[in-house]
């Protein structure tokens, strides 16, 4: 692939996938990280609990409106499944590796002070491991707002085009 894209934990997985792809093929696909977290040490990710899934769903509904009961149950099952798969993969992954390919990080800046400090530390960690990093900061969106914003598709498209055009 020329570009691997992921949002949130999907971006973390995309990054690890790009590193592994590079190791096996000596090709460095560009990576687009949508407000993704990169661990600074070995991590023990626990699968999402039912209570945590409901919290995520309520935060999502704050941005997209109330879901029907059927959609809510489907989303609930998908969240539990996807986070359990992500936890298994991340728990077996090596510590956050360096990467020579191009990486674009999209950061949501809206949030409480703790979130802002964690995001700043996360960006600094990524800068230490990635030679070719560009950062796009979205001031008026939090993590969920960034994910669920229809305008994000346009932003990501522009960023991906820039990564591929400059390859």
Reading the block at residue 37, the tokens are 């977290």
Element at 57 (helix H, strand E): helix 50-64
Instruction: Supply the pLDDT for residue 41.
Output: 62
Instruction: Supply the pLDDT for residue 132.
Output: 93
pLDDT tens digit string along 74-85?
877 877 777 777
Taking 70 as the pLDDT cut, the residues of the chain under it are: 40-45, 63-64, 166-167
pLDDT tens digit string along 86-98?
777 777 777 778 9
Per-chain mean pLDDT for the chain? 82
| Contact by Cβ (8 Å): 122, 37 | yes
Question: CB-based contacts of 158: which residues, under 8 Å, 6+ apart?
Answer: none
Instruction: Supply the pLDDT for residue 63.
Output: 66
Q: E-assigned strands of the chain?
A: 3-7, 30-34, 99-108, 130-138
């Amino acid at each position: 692939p020329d570009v691997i894209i992921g949002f949130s934990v999907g971006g973390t997985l995309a990054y690890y996938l790009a590193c592994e792809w590079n190791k096996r093929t000596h090709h460095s696909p560009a990576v687009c990280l949508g407000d993704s977290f990169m661990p600074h040490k070995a991590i023990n990710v626990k699968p999402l609990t039912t209570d945590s899934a409901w919290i995520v769903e309520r935060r999502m509904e704050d941005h997209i409106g109330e879901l029907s009961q059927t959609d809510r149950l489907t989303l609930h099952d998908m969240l539990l499944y996807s986070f359990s798969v992500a936890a298994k993969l991340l728990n077996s992954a090596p510590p956050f590796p360096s990467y020579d390919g191009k990486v674009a990080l999209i950061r949501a800046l809206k949030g409480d002070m703790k979130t802002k400090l964690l995001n700043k530390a996360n960006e600094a960690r990524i800068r230490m491991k990635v030679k070719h990093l560009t950062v796009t900061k979205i001031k008026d969106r939090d993590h969920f707002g960034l994910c669920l914003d229809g305008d994000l598709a346009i932003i990501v498209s522009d960023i991906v085009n820039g990564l591929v055009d400059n390859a």
